[in-house]
Amino acid sequence: MPSQLIDVQENAWKNDFPILKKGVYLDSAATSQKPASVIKALDKFYKTSNANVHRGVYELSAKATEQYEGARKKVAQFINAKPWETVFVRNATEAVNLVARSWGEANVQRGDAILATVMEHHSNLVPWQQLAKRTGAKLGYIPLKDGELDMGAALQLLSKRPKLLAVTHVSNVLGTINPIKELITMCHSVGCLVLVDACQSIPHMAIDVKQLDCDFLVFSGHKLFGPTGIGVLYAKEDLLNAMPPFLSGGDMIKEVSLVGASWNDIPWKFEAGTPAVAEAVALGAAVDYLSKIGMENIAKHDHDLIAYALEKLQQVPGITIYGPKDANKRCGVIAFNLGDIHSHDLATVLDQHDVAVRSGHHCCMPLIGQLNVTATARMSVALYNTTEDIDALVNALQECRKVFKL
Ligand SMILES: Cc1ncc(COP(=O)(O)O)c(C=O)c1O
């Protein structure tokens, strides 16, 4: 159970988020709410520094460039990467597509194997299916055992020496924390690269790409208390240098003639066209906000809250909870169904009690199919949630049981 000390902190953090004045928001896995400092950074950029970057020689453009590149440094530091290994993209989906197109088409050939897992979000699944179709490579999947990756099966699949494993750090449905470091070591021992989808881990724990030794890591800014329209691809310097551009056009070139072009240095080689400047600056503000609180404090808070929620939800008669039973093995989200109520109906009634949860397949249709359901409800927490929010969900679920006569 969370300590009283944590409750005091929780409430203080909640006050930083203007939208949270009313209602209970338990859908941060879909997108997080934004602290006032992030909203202010967006507003301030447009009021004081807006100009296109890397182009103008005038003062305002230099200021915009300085802030954009400053944000890159902050984000890089946040994950212990070098700024030139940190590419700004629109979101995690674009980052995966960038790797599948650029690295994939240059390195994967007919007959090669690539690997994903059954618990991947469509964003880390469909781009690999498409790559396999284009190249004639074989896409295999690490299966699940009791809501966790089957590591024995992973070992067997790795004996085929796949070129790359695309794996989520934390499942956005089951909440399972995957043994990412162990997987990376296993993959590297057979020459297989690893792309980590950190969308559901990075808001809840410190991420150090050097310590993980991952080859690629992707996440979306909007799930990390930043704005929409900005995401991050981390890749090892050597890989980025060797990869051909993904999109082409302005800013990603060194020289252009009527017959061809040469490419800019990394990371700009992968940032064609005018980037999301204000959004990058605001993501920098989000990282400042998180660093000030400390990711260790956030990790403890979020873990305690999920442990509390797991315990309370298990006491609701008729509930089915998906994913590991042990709170130490999970993070951020709890997916569930109540009796035979469709999750959309459940979410609608919960909303009538001012509790916002997600319902549906959560962009994980293969996984949902393996759970033998068509949909689930899903609550997810962030640093601003409190035990009172969980109690409100549990009380609202009891009301649902009355409405649906369970
Ligand atoms: C695990 C995971 N990967 C990828 C994504 C895709 O994120 P985006 O839609 O911001 O690209 C999500 C979003 O829900 C996710 O949960």
- Where along the chain do the CATH 3.90.1150.10 domains lie? 4-33+294-400
Judge contact between 79 and 217, C-beta under 8 A: yes
- Quick one: DSSP state of residue 197? E
Judge contact between 379 and 24, C-beta under 8 A: no
91 lines ligand 1 (CB under 6 A): yes
Nearest atom, ligand 1, residue 168 CA: 1
Say which CATH architecture domain 4-33+294-400 belongs to.
Alpha-Beta Complex (3.90)
Q: Within 223-379, where are the H helices?
A: 237-242, 277-293, 295-314, 343-352, 365-370
Q: What is the mean pLDDT of residues 214-223?
A: 98
Q: Ligand 1 atom 13: the closest Cα is on which residue?
A: 30
3-state secondary structure of 226: coil
Domain 39-292 in this protein, CATH class: alpha beta
Best residue among 97, 117, 118, 123 to mutate for probing ligand 1's pocket (most ligand atoms within 8 Å of CB) is 123
Q: What is the pLDDT of residues 206-215, one digit of tens each?
A: 999 999 999 9
For residue 10, pLDDT over 60 is answered with: no
Best residue among 91, 121, 173 to mutate for probing ligand 1's pocket (most ligand atoms within 8 Å of CB) is 121
In which residue are the tokens 């109690």 written?
391
Q: How far apart are CA 258 and CA 73, in angstroms?
A: 35
- Where along the chain do the CATH 3.40.640.10 domains lie? 39-292
What pLDDT is attached to residue 56?
A: 83
Q: For strands 138-142 and 113-117, give the pairing.
A: parallel
What pLDDT is attached to residue 3?
A: 47
3-state secondary structure of 396: helix
Judge contact between 179 and 148, C-beta under 8 A: no
93 lines ligand 1 (CB under 6 A): yes
Q: What are phi and psi of 377, to 5 degrees?
A: -85, 155
User: Which member of 187, 363, 364, 400 is catalytic?
Assistant: 363
Ligand 1 center to 364 CA (angstroms):
10
Active site residue 363: yes
Cβ-based burial of 390 (10 A; exposed 0-12, middle 13-18, buried ≥19): buried
Q: What is the pLDDT of residues 31-70, one digit of tens each?
A: 999 999 999 999 999 999 999 999 889 999 999 999 999 9
Helix (H) or strand (E) holding 105: helix 92-107
Cβ-based burial of 118 (10 A; exposed 0-12, middle 13-18, buried ≥19): middle
3-state secondary structure of 214: coil
Best residue among 31, 219, 223 to mutate for probing ligand 1's pocket (most ligand atoms within 8 Å of CB) is 223
Nearest atom, ligand 1, residue 170 CA: 1
